[in-house]
Amino acid sequence: MEEFAEQKSGMENDTVIVIAGPGGLGLGAIEVASSVYRAKVIAICDTEDSSILIRDEGAFQTICMSEGYPKVYRFLKNALGENRVRCIYDAVGGEALHLLQDFLDTENGSILTVYPLFDREAFKNSSPDFKVKDKDRVDRTELAKLPPIHERVQHIDLYNYQYQDRNFFREIIEETLSLYGEDLISAHVSKVFSLEDLEDAVEFIKKKKCTGKVLIEVKEDDTDESDNEDKRKKD
């Protein structure tokens, strides 16, 4: 969100690409970009079911990563034409950034990843085979003049902010609550499981059936509370 804020003055009507997974970070980015900063969002999701929700959250166009990189690339190439995007936001792991940087505005664009386990060194040394032919790719003359992508990717780690910059982390939380209070963003709960069904909840996430948060409901034990109340009365 703070990276969007830095570019707020010029983001209205600009296009951003959001790579959204089954968690809530991608959904949050889509809502903030579209509702708060009025940017046009092209979302890349993991399943067809999630694409419906993502469009409801404000995405202008969506495509599933399961279609394969060649089809995703053609989709973006056709959707953008000669235009380039202001921001590429990754919430799932970073691999696709090697390819999708082709569509970045080389003067004003930024590449962000909020994937908690992002490893810059591993990202630097990775060379995925996207099966996209060079002749089918857009002109990358200006892109070739920039530093390597592993130096340009900005990793936003909220966990580190929480412990290393508490004031900034507090500002993020306060701003998020403010946006929620203004109905500009919302929290999407994919499913609620009881504590007894914890294993089912884990399996639900593993199979990528969720889009948003999965909650575990922990109910207070009425029996224990009654026993404690009886004990207090006797004392």
Q: Distance between CA 18 and CA 23 in Å, rounded?
A: 13
Cα–Cα separations (whole angstroms), residue 111 to 120, 167, 177:
13, 25, 25
Over residues 9-53, the pLDDT tens digits come to: 456 789 999 998 656 778 888 888 888 888 999 999 877 777 777
Rounded to the nearest angstrom, the gap between the alpha carbon of residue 31 and the centroid of all alpha carbons in its chain is 10
Instruction: Identify the H or E element spanning 80.
Output: helix 69-80
Over residues 60-110, the pLDDT tens digits come to: 899 998 899 999 999 999 999 999 999 999 998 878 999 999 999 999 999
- What pLDDT is recorded for position 31? 84
8 confidence band (pLDDT: 50, 70, 90): very low
Q: Distance between CA 63 and CA 59 in Å, rounded?
A: 10
Domains and CATH numbers, the chain: 1-156 (3.40.50.720), 189-217 (no CATH)
Q: What is the DSSP string of 178-224?
A: HHHHTTSS-PPEEEEEEGGGHHHHHHHHHTT--SSEEEEE----HHH
Q: What is the pTM of this model?
A: 0.77
Q: CB of 204 within 8 A of CB of 193?
A: yes
| Higher-pLDDT residue of 1, 77 | 77
Percent of the chain topping pLDDT 70: 85
What tokens were used for 223?
A: 């029996």
